[in-house]
Amino acid sequence: MAVLQTPERERTVGGLPEAAHRPPRRKTPYQAAARGFIAPGVLMVAVLLYLPLLWTTFLSFTEYNGLGDPEWVGLDNYVEMFDDPSFVGSLLNTLLWVAGTLLIPVGVGLALALLTWNLPGGIWLRLPFLIPYAISGIGVGVIWSFILSANGALDQALAMIGIADPPRWLVDAPLNTVVMIIAASWQGVGVNALLFTIGLQSIPKEPLEAARVDGATGVRLFGSILWPMLRPLTAVVVGLSIVASLKTFDIVLSMTKGGPGRASETLALTMYRETFVNSDYGLGSAIAVFLSVVTLVASVLYLRQQLSQKHEM
């Protein structure tokens, strides 16, 4: 920092001949201006994101229902949380979401990127997968609820090929979570394909040509050249998928409302219900804090992977 600041002072003195233009305080005029320029951003983020964040953390150690004052109860909410079988069920569902989202959208996204890579018309062939990405979670939920409803579009299609007694897609758990993961994958594959495509396009041509000259094609080319080169990007895609799937809310709210009972709830949904339906602000906040810690750990893991990769290069 000191190294940066010293030349700044000199440059200013040299650049502005009239010392009269300087403000009375002996700093560079830019520091005052710089604080003015950054202040709106810092203020808005501090007031609307950081303050609430601290308040939620505080509330997670209290008993509070919005009336009166929060009452300090230490770790009670956290203990209560892990004792609650439906919280554990919600946690398991969320883990299923994380695993499923890694498997389908990331895997299929990579496959699509490889299939369209260097293919004439690849941009157009990718389009069908990109359309769902722009649709909101509730929009996706409305479409898939309609398809998966009893005697709905899917059941009619199955009946045509002779399957007369299909499972109750949105009622039987954990099947309902699995079909919702498929709906979310329908939405999410395109963006992963796009990210992997950007990654593939940035691979330098020379090693690829060298490998081709050596006769590497298909699986061998992928294993020896493409996969290692895509690894940093894969870490990002995987990290983003984990973080997004931990927060799954819209699709579940739309398709099952977390039901039947609480069988398909995710952590985000449990937090919402405890807070805004049951008015148990302390417990809701504890779930939010738990969700944040898990999300942070996941982000740190992939960011570190990212950074260490950059250091190697």
Residue 72: strand pairing partners: 62
Say whether 62 sits in a helix, a strand or coil. strand
Compute how many residues bind other proteins; rule: CB under 8 A: 100
Q: Residue 13 interacts with other proteins (CB under 8 A)?
A: no
Instruction: Give one DSSP letter per residue of 251-276, joined into a string.
Output: HHHHHTTT-STTTT--HHHHHHIIII
Question: CB within 8 A of 107, min separation 6: which ones?
Answer: none
- Pick the stretch among 74-82, 90-98, 115-123, 170-178 that binds other proteins (CB under 8 A): 115-123
Of positions 23, 52, 167, 228, contacts other proteins by CB under 8 A? 52
Using CA atoms, how far apart are residues 253 and 114, in angstroms rounded to an integer? 34
Stated as kind and residue range, the H or E segment containing 72 is: strand 71-72
Q: Residue 272 interacts with other proteins (CB under 8 A)?
A: yes
Q: Residue 30 interacts with other proteins (CB under 8 A)?
A: yes
Q: Residue 242 interacts with other proteins (CB under 8 A)?
A: no
Q: Residue 6 interacts with other proteins (CB under 8 A)?
A: no
Q: Residue 115 interacts with other proteins (CB under 8 A)?
A: yes
* Lookup: tokens for 234: 């894969």
Of positions 77, 90, 145, 245, contacts other proteins by CB under 8 A? 145
Tell me which residues in 70-109 interact with other proteins (CB under 8 A): none
Shortest separation between residue 29's beta carbon and other proteins, angstroms = 8
Q: Residue 16 interacts with other proteins (CB under 8 A)?
A: yes
Shortest separation between residue 61's beta carbon and other proteins, angstroms = 14
The CB-side HSE value for 85 (13 A sphere, CA atoms) comes to 2
Q: Residue 3 interacts with other proteins (CB under 8 A)?
A: no
Contact at 8 Å (CB) between 190 and 131? yes
Contact at 8 Å (CB) between 40 and 46? no
- φ, ψ of residue 294 to 5 degrees: the values are -60, -45
Q: Residue 121 interacts with other proteins (CB under 8 A)?
A: yes
Residue 63: strand pairing partners: 71
Comparison of 59 and 263: residue with beta carbon closer to other proteins: 59
N- to C-terminal Cα distance for the chain?
26
Of positions 73, 95, 149, 208, contacts other proteins by CB under 8 A? 149
Of positions 131, 210, 297, 307, contacts other proteins by CB under 8 A? 131
Tell me which residues in 173-232 interact with other proteins (CB under 8 A): 186, 189, 191, 194-195, 197-198, 218
